[in-house]
Amino acid sequence: MKKVRDNLAYNCLSPDLNTPSALDSYLFIADLHLCASRPHITTAFLHFLKNTAINAKSLYILGDLFEYWAGDDDMDNVHHQSIIIAFRTLANHGVKIYFMHGNRDFLIAKGFCQSAQVTLLQDPTLINLYEKKALLSHGDALCTDDVAYQNFRLQVRNPAWQSEFLNHPLLSRQHQIETIRARSEQEKSQKSMQIMDVNQEAVEALLKSYDYPELLIHGHTHRPDTHQIQLNGHTITRWVLGDWYEQGSYLACNHTGCQSMRLKEI
């Protein structure tokens, strides 16, 4: 018990020790955007894996684990290796790790998953969470008002486009991605907050097509919150996960419910 209390005291801003801990919980994270140029975030994440996720049943990473992923031939660098090794260590302790693609790391493939002992999930994926249905998604596909992004997404999620892109040398791919990143940042500065949020009709259509799960958990918008949706006589909770830019956060779910948890500032 002491181990859990110490762990909570370290990881939570909230002093309430009665909230669900990581012990035997399902943990959900997204939008860490790990990269070598923000080493403190990687350090905080490795600490989270070693001290918090280690107590969980499963860890679900719902996309944008990395700032970007240029291909599985970029696994040898020290930064990527430190994360792969930490995942392997966690998996060897019996914690099941699931990963879903985000809009920045959808080129993660078999090589990474095998090496990190991570199971790749389709977007969306329905899971059973203590007899409740929970639908998991990165969330970008729900931002249907962002037409420029959806057109871009259609292009780069095309398998033929991806295999052509992966034929380029790693360095050239990295340069192309940097160019797209700059363009994306420039275009985002011109878009309204509303356009870059999920579209309510898209959310409702998705929930209906999955027969009204009790929970929808996603990231991408970087607007951590809980939304109650009343839809055709069903009550659905939409959990939006936070990013890890200034403060790491995760959603912990156990048999008593789900609780949004924050790490100390990073």
Asked if residue 174 lies in contact with residue 90, where contact means CB atoms within 8 angstroms, the answer is no
Q: Is 102 in the site for Mn ion (CB under 5 A)?
A: yes
> 48 to 77, contacts with ligand LP5 by CB under 6 A?
68
Best CA proximity match to 140, nearest among 170, 184, 178, 182? 184
Asked if residue 260 lies in contact with residue 226, where contact means CB atoms within 8 angstroms, the answer is yes
Given strand 119-121, what is the order of strands in its sheet?
Answer: 119-121, 96-100, 58-61, 26-29, 247-254, 257-265
Total residues contacting ligand LP5 by CB under 6 A comes to: 21
Best CA proximity match to 90, nearest among 5, 29, 8? 29
Q: Between 123 and 146, whose beta carbon lies closer to ligand LP5?
A: 146
Residue whose pair of structure tokens reads 């990013």 in the numeric block: 243
> Which residue number has the CB closest to Mn ion?
220
Q: Between 103 and 260, whose beta carbon lies closer to Mn ion?
A: 103
Asked if residue 40 lies in contact with residue 77, where contact means CB atoms within 8 angstroms, the answer is no
Q: Is 187 in the site for ligand LP5 (CB under 6 A)?
A: yes
Among 36, 154, 170, 180, binds ligand LP5 (CB under 6 A): 180
Q: Is 116 exposed, middle or buried (0-12, 13-18, 19+ CB in 10 A)?
A: buried
Q: Is 244 in the site for ligand LP5 (CB under 6 A)?
A: no
Minimum CB distance to Mn ion, residue 195 (Å): 15
Report the partner that residue 177 touches, choosing among ligand LP5, Mn ion, none (CB closer than 5 to 8 A by kind).
ligand LP5
What is the β-pairing status of strands 132-137 and 215-218? parallel
Among 49, 143, 236, 258, binds ligand LP5 (CB under 6 A): 143
Three-state secondary-structure class, residue 199: coil
What are the two backbone dihedrals, phi and then psi, of residue 13, each rounded to the nearest 5 degrees?
-75, -35
Q: Is 156 in the site for ligand LP5 (CB under 6 A)?
A: yes
Minimum CB distance to ligand LP5, residue 134 (Å): 22
Q: Between 24 and 164, whose beta carbon lies closer to ligand LP5?
A: 164
Among 50, 183, 255, 264, binds ligand LP5 (CB under 6 A): 183
Best CA proximity match to 32, nearest among 88, 72, 86, 96? 86
Minimum CB distance to ligand LP5, residue 165 (Å): 6
Q: Is 104 in the site for ligand LP5 (CB under 6 A)?
A: yes
Minimum CB distance to ligand LP5, residue 183 (Å): 5
Among 48, 87, 146, 251, binds ligand LP5 (CB under 6 A): 146
What are the two backbone dihedrals, phi and then psi, of residue 140, each rounded to the nearest 5 degrees?
-65, -30
- The footprint of Mn ion (CB under 5 A) covers 64, 102-103, 220
Residues in touch with ligand LP5 (CB under 6 A): 68, 103-104, 107, 140, 143, 146, 148-149, 152, 156, 176-177, 180-181, 183-184, 187-188, 191, 196
